[in-house]
Amino acid sequence: MGLSPPLISLALRGLLDIGDPAAFSAVAERSLRRVFADSGTPLPSTVLQMVPINDTTVTIAGAIAVLLLIGFSAFFSSSEIAMFSLAKHRVDSLVEDGVPNAETVSDLKSNPHRLLVTILVGNNIVNIAMSSIATAIVSIYFDPGAAVLASTFGITTLVLLFGESAPKSYAVENTESWALRISRPLKYSEYVLLPLVVVFDYLTRVINKVTGGRSAIETSYITRDEIQDLIQTGEREGVIEEEEREMLDRIFRFNQTIVKEVMTPRLDMTAVAKDATIDEAIETCVQSDHERVPVYEGNLDNIIGIVTIRDLVREKHYGEGTASLIDIVQPTLHVPESKNVDELLTEIQDNRLRMVIVIDEFGTTEGLVTLEDMVEEIVGDILEDDEEEAFEYVDDRETLVRGEVNIDEVNEALGLDLPEGEEFETLAGFVFNRAGRLVEEGEEISYDGITIRIEQVDNTRIMKARITIPEEPVIEEEDDDVESIEADSESPPLE
């Protein structure tokens, strides 16, 4: 809402001497005669008799002017809300659909700083003029001090109700339709107020530069955090299912995931030696239930490529001459364990690979990553027939969890807040970090009231653990209230 300097109106009141109708009429008559004389047309005698210029006439004209100015105030106030509440992506969609006035809205929002200055300049001019006229009218009937107070409170009430609150509320509820409707009048206002807009736009930018502020009014129309908040809200409102929300959350985490978190560790790798026969390689693939396996020379730290069971079978049955494993080995990539998964997925797609080898900073093989591993990061685990679930819920408090499950998955699935360190990513790593040694079956560790019991160990490797969440404290106030009620009911009635 703009400024309201009523003293300007008092100066106008003194200049025209509105309190003296005869003097005011004389001034008006001289002005009319001068206008007609300049145009070379005689002043008709009926002109001054049509509308008598007196206090009542001035009051009615002023009231009409105030009503018009309130309308302009409502226009500028609602324009600000409608224009800056309409998201840029929605404006782009309206333009693509060819909606009338969408191009004008897009043009206005292309320079949000100038748009804001236009609205503020127009709104302040309207509100100041309204206050000045109101003060001039009221001063006809009251002394200057009372006129200032009455016009100030009166105009403030009118502007707040009809020039700010009501139009802005309407604009919030009808953002898109109202923005399209007022875009052309607002564009015309920008042309009319262009000199003032240019001056104040420049001054505002200078002040922002001096104070270290930013001139930009709008930044990116939506952020990652806002999208994630919308996803959470959508689940609460029933718009999306829990499984859909989980998948969308995994998509947002995908570019923050490194290869080490999704790889199959070295201990679980199945590989064949370079000098193995075709039959031995086929047997290895069948026994491990893998479609492709790495081929190494000497040891796993020297993997030379990948071989698929399809190539092995074709070479065995349709190969010419003596079949050799080295002839069908396909090259693969060796990537560091710290590489982002989204970058690796792009490389796999570009090179048309299905499996890559993961190495550490010393070049030692740490594990392997398949295309399926990365897909599972988005859609969840894709289990084979004999593969166990990552989580086996015993009851509301107890859950059996595989040791290789990542800590962030445990936290999300069970609603916990276990720490994630640089030394470990899995539940087994967390247990070893807390214990500081190898653990055996039956051992328990505690963290923040949570108990983790080791259920299954294979040599030194934790295969499965039982997580027990503490019970929530029972509030006994209700029991006390019940006991007091029962005690009152057993007490003898008063005579």
Q: In this predicted model, what pLDDT tens digit does every residue of 121-139 receive, in sequence order?
A: 999 999 899 888 888 888 8
CA dist 303 → 90, 263, 273, 323, 471 (Å): 52, 16, 9, 20, 50
Q: What is the pLDDT of residue 214?
A: 60
Q: What is the pLDDT of residue 33?
A: 64
Per-residue confidence band for 296, with pLDDT thresholds at 50, 70 and 90:
very high
Q: What is the pLDDT of residue 331?
A: 92
Q: Which residue in the block uniquely carries the two structure tokens 């006439």? A: 57
- pLDDT tens digit sequence for 311-359: 999 888 887 767 788 889 999 999 999 999 999 999 999 999 999 999 9
DSSP state of 330: B
Are residues 203 and 196 in contact, defined by beta-carbon separation less than 8 angstroms? Answer: no
Region of poorest pLDDT, from 75-89, 250-264, 386-400: 386-400
Q: What is the pLDDT of residue 396?
A: 84
Q: What is the pLDDT of residue 53?
A: 62
Q: Which stretch of DSSP H or E encloses residue 453? A: strand 450-458
Q: Which residue in the block uniquely carries the two structure tokens 């239930």? A: 289
Amino acid at 250: R
- pLDDT tens digit sequence for 255-273: 888 898 899 999 889 999 9
DSSP state of 162: I
pLDDT, averaged across the chain: 81
| Distance (Å, whole) CA 318 – CA 308 | 15
Q: Where are the beta strands (DSSP E) in 253-404?
A: 264-265, 272-273, 292-297, 299-308, 334-336, 355-359, 365-370, 391-393, 398-402
Does residue 1 carry a pLDDT above 60? no
Q: What is the pLDDT of residue 114?
A: 86
The mean pLDDT of 23-28, rounded to a whole number, is 56
Does residue 251 carry a pLDDT above 70? yes
Q: What is the pLDDT of residue 492?
A: 44
Query: What does pTM read for this prediction?
Result: 0.56
Are residues 280 and 272 in contact, defined by beta-carbon separation less than 8 angstroms? Answer: yes
| Distance (Å, whole) CA 239 – CA 233 | 8
- pLDDT tens digit sequence for 83-108: 988 888 888 889 998 889 999 999 98
Q: What is the pLDDT of residue 46?
A: 55
DSSP state of 470: P
Per-residue confidence band for 419, with pLDDT thresholds at 50, 70 and 90:
confident
| Distance (Å, whole) CA 418 – CA 41 | 93
Q: What is the pLDDT of residue 22?
A: 52
Strand order in the sheet with 391-393: 391-393, 398-402, 461-468, 450-458, 444-447
Q: What is the pLDDT of residue 271?
A: 94
Tokens of 216: 């930009």
| Distance (Å, whole) CA 261 – CA 341 | 9
CA dist 90 → 83, 96, 119 (Å): 12, 10, 22
- pLDDT tens digit sequence for 191-228: 998 888 888 888 888 887 888 766 555 555 567 888 88
Question: Strands 444-447 and 334-336: what pairing?
Answer: unpaired
Own/partner long-range contacts of 214-222 (Cβ < 8 Å, ≥24 apart):
215/113, 216/112, 216/113, 217/84, 217/112, 217/113, 217/115, 217/116, 218/84, 218/88, 218/109, 218/112, 221/87, 221/88, 221/89, 222/87, 222/89
Does residue 303 carry a pLDDT above 90? yes
What angle in degrees, to the nearest 10, is found between the helix axes of 341-351 and 371-379?
130
Tokens of 389: 């679930």
- pLDDT tens digit sequence for 109-123: 888 888 888 999 999
Q: Tell me the backbone φ, ψ of residue 46, rounded to 5 degrees.
A: -85, -10
| Distance (Å, whole) CA 140 – CA 133 | 11
Q: What is the pLDDT of residue 144?
A: 78
Q: What is the pLDDT of residue 370?
A: 93
Q: What is the pLDDT of residue 35?
A: 55
Q: What is the pLDDT of residue 16?
A: 42
Largest CA distance in the chain: 125
Q: What is the pLDDT of residue 28?
A: 56
Q: Which stretch of DSSP H or E encloses residue 430? A: helix 427-435
- pLDDT tens digit sequence for 146-158: 878 888 888 888 8
- pLDDT tens digit sequence for 440-449: 999 999 988 8
Does residue 26 carry a pLDDT above 80? no
Q: Give the whole-number percent of the chain exceeding pLDDT 90.
A: 27
